[in-house]
Amino acid sequence: MTTPVGPIDSSRTPRYAGRDGFARLPRLDQVARADIVVAGVPFDSGVSYRSGARFGPNHVREASRLLRPYNPALDVSPFEIAQVADAGDIAVNPFDIGEAIETIEQAALDLTAGDTRLVTLGGDHTIALPLLRAAAQRHGPVALLHFDAHLDTWDTYFGAEYTHGTPFRRAFEEGIIDTEALCHVGTRGPLYGKRDLEDDRRFGFGIVTSADVYHQGVNEVVAKLRDRIGARPLYISIDIDVLDPAHAPGTGTPEAGGITSRELLEILRGFQGLNLIGADVVEVAPPYDHAEITGVAASHVAYDLVSLLALRRGQQR
């Protein structure tokens, strides 16, 4: 097996210099093939409140300069056991949501050819729908863990069916998610009405609220989620607003009472061994991110997702 090309050595080249890809990894066109690719989708035309997530991918990349190649929490050097590369950004039409969704779906299919796994940096949560479409074409209907303050299973906003608040309702309607293995994690805050929860249950979603994480603890939550997912192919979608605004102020629709970055990372690390096939981290909006708090959190979340995918790839060899 060819030795993977890893990130720039930060002990020789300062972190503020050199490559600007995620974790200072090589570009996709600089390697013969990749086991895992990180790609950005600078798109936020589906937001209902504060825009700015179109600038999220490069913001997360910039924060990722601080990452190091060994992940002690998962006891893995992901860039040594898998070839990871940055595919750059998927260029999408900011004025036509329908065309943007089609572009993202095709790009995701192209990037996951040959069993390559994809971690996507958003962008707003509208992008989850085409990413799930592509994942389902590769693996059939997928299990879904959705980390978010919000349900994102609403029907329409202002009559529009494709927004950052509707992707998982559309995914249910299209039959691309496994209704036996769906769960929201970290939800909280006011809703438009009780029917929101009733619809959500009808679609098959379980709910682990941020209060549940607080009262039950990470280990119990992880055990319940692992039992719900089992061995199914799993897609993880993470809206950074699942974190409390104290941990992620740079997002479009903040809600008080969220989980901490430590809790989110520990929950993700509890998924080691599951059949993870792809993931996204979305809704990072740098215009509101003082001191890069949100960018740093999102970069670590993406790093742990890459680490989980690398471990899975190592187990399959």
User: What is the tens place of the pLDDT at every residue in 146-174?
Assistant: 999 999 999 999 999 999 999 999 999 99
- Reading the block at residue 164, the tokens are 């950052």
CATH assignment of the domain containing 81: 3.40.800.10
Residues pairing with 117 in the sheet? 36
Indicate whether 221 pLDDT > 80.
yes
Residue 216 pLDDT class (50, 70, 90 cuts):
very high
Q: Is residue 2 part of a domain?
A: no
Residue 317 pLDDT class (50, 70, 90 cuts):
low
Backbone angles phi, psi at 89, to 5 degrees: -105, 145
Boundaries of domain holding 111? 22-316
- Reading the block at residue 232, the tokens are 């199914």
Indicate whether 226 pLDDT > 70.
yes
Q: Is residue 277 part of a domain?
A: yes
Confidence (pTM): 0.98
Cβ-proximal residues to 77 (8 Å cutoff; 6+ apart), any chain? 69, 70, 71
Cβ-proximal residues to 159 (8 Å cutoff; 6+ apart), any chain? none
Q: Is residue 81 part of a domain?
A: yes
Q: What is the pLDDT of residue 2?
A: 84
Q: Is residue 5 part of a domain?
A: no
Q: Is residue 8 part of a domain?
A: no
Going by their DSSP bridges, the two strands 36-41 and 84-89 should be labelled as parallel
Q: Is residue 271 part of a domain?
A: yes
Nearest CA among 167, 113, 114 for reference residue 280? 167
Amino acid in the structure at residue 210 = S
Residues pairing with 27 in the sheet? 86
Please tell me the distance from the alpha carbon of residue 278 to that of residue 283, in angstroms, as a whole number.
17
Total structural domains in the chain?
1
Answer whether 152's CB lies under 8 Å from 164's CB.
yes
Q: What is the pLDDT of residue 1?
A: 63
Answer whether 206's CB lies under 8 Å from 185's CB.
no
Q: Is residue 15 part of a domain?
A: no
Cβ-proximal residues to 260 (8 Å cutoff; 6+ apart), any chain? 243, 244, 247
Q: Is residue 218 part of a domain?
A: yes
- Reading the block at residue 40, the tokens are 């950005």
List, for residues 102-140, the tens digit of each pLDDT value: 999 999 999 999 999 999 999 999 999 999 999 999 999
Range 29-47 average pLDDT = 97
> What is the CA 53 to chain-centroid distance, rounded?
13
DSSP 71: B
Q: What is the pLDDT of residue 12?
A: 85
Answer whether 142's CB lies under 8 Å from 236's CB.
no
- Reading the block at residue 64, the tokens are 């990722």
Cα angle, residue 278 at apex, residues 26 and 293 outer, rounded to 5°: 70
